């Protein structure tokens, strides 16, 4: 079955469910029944179905890209690589583990990565995503950014707590500003699938230059597999069998090394914060194609 036929079939079979994220008001208004899916092959060709060209708030999907921009030995001195087993905005483990977040994809860990990149991190990410997607029109959704900043007390608490342990190098307000803006970038499934292809190419960008060496790409993919879907990473690996990173905007990016990158979008979330329709679509995709890292 050709990829376009496969994506069309999945779009007709997938069952939306769950509810849109309600703790960020700008996200709560999005219709949970919407759905899009795009598959980008190594040559950049995209097969899509549903609303695969509709932009949405990428939220924590951004953390996969900022990790790729920041990854290195020095970073791993400040953040771990283990699943947390706790909600993505939990404060509990930080106290018992001396201000070192479990992994770079929970909020505390992503704040450390943003701090590591420093002032201008969100603009650096935006340039990278525009270049990789081939879409210079990608930008920050200012309404979402304001909504998230106005309701960001938990993230402020996480950042100040880590600062008390010496694990913040920049002022907390600067880090929060950059973090909120990177999460509030709006992209489509097509844009995101193209942008994630460097992980399918073992670190090589769309222009042929290398962002990561083979080991670096392997490590980013590994952390995505074990930590990329909040505290449901085991269930995601069991059902889908691919490295993936989700966001509470309803998107999930997944990588098939050596083959393609996939992005699905369904704003209805399950209790763990992952897209119900998105996980279902990816489960169907790997089942029908047999493509998996296992």
Active site residues: 60, 63, 179, 230, 248
Using the 8-state DSSP alphabet, how is residue 78 labeled? Answer: T
Q: Which residue has the tokens 């073992």?
A: 202
The token duo for 95 is: 């106290």
Nearest Cα residue to 106 out of 21, 231, 293, 190: 231
* Rounded alpha-carbon distances, angstroms, from residue 105 to 44, 225, 244, 245, 284: 26, 11, 11, 8, 25
* Rounded alpha-carbon distances, angstroms, from residue 238 to 253, 267, 279: 16, 22, 11
Q: Helix or strand or coil: residue 273?
A: coil
* C-alpha to C-alpha distance for 13 and 265, rounded to whole angstroms: 15
| DSSP-assigned states of every residue in 129-193 | HHHHHT-TT-EE-HHHHHHHHHT-HHHHHHHHHHHHTT---S-HHHHHHHHHHHHTEEE-HHHHH
Q: Which residue has the tokens 């995505």?
A: 224
Using the 8-state DSSP alphabet, how is residue 213 labeled? Answer: -
């Amino acid at each position: 079955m050709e990829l376009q036929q496969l994506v069309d079939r999945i779009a007709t079979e997938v069952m939306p469910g769950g509810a849109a994220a309600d703790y960020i008001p700008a996200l709560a208004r999005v219709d949970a029944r919407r759905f899009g899916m795009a598959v980008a092959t190594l040559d950049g060709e995209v097969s899509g179905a549903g609303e695969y060209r509709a932009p949405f708030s990428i939220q924590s999907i951004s953390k996969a890209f900022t990790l790729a921009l920041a990854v290195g030995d020095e970073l791993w001195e400040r953040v771990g690589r283990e699943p947390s087993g706790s909600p993505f905005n939990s404060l509990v483990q930080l106290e018992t583990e001396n201000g070192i977040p479990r992994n770079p994809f929970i909020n505390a860990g992503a704040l450390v990565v943003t701090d590591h990149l420093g002032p201008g991190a969100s603009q650096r990410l935006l340039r990278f995503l525009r270049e990789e997607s081939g879409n210079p029109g990608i930008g920050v959704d200012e309404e979402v950014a304001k909504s998230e900043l106005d309701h960001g007390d938990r993230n402020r608490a996480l950042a100040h707590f880590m600062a008390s342990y010496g694990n913040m190098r920049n002022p907390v307000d600067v880090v929060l500003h950059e973090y909120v803006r990177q999460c509030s970038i709006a992209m489509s499934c097509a844009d995101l699938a193209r942008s994630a292809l460097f992980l399918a190419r073992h670190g090589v960008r769309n222009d042929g230059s290398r962002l990561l060496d083979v080991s670096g790409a392997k490590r980013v993919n590994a952390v995505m597999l074990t930590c990329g879907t909040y505290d449901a990473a085991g269930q995601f690996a069991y059902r889908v069998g691919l490295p993936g990173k989700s966001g509470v905007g309803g998107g999930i990016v997944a990588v098939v090394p050596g083959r393609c990158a996939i992005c699905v979008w369904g704003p209805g979330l399950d209790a763990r914060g992952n897209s119900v329709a998105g996980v279902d679509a990816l489960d169907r995709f790997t089942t029908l194609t047999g493509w998996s890292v296992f």
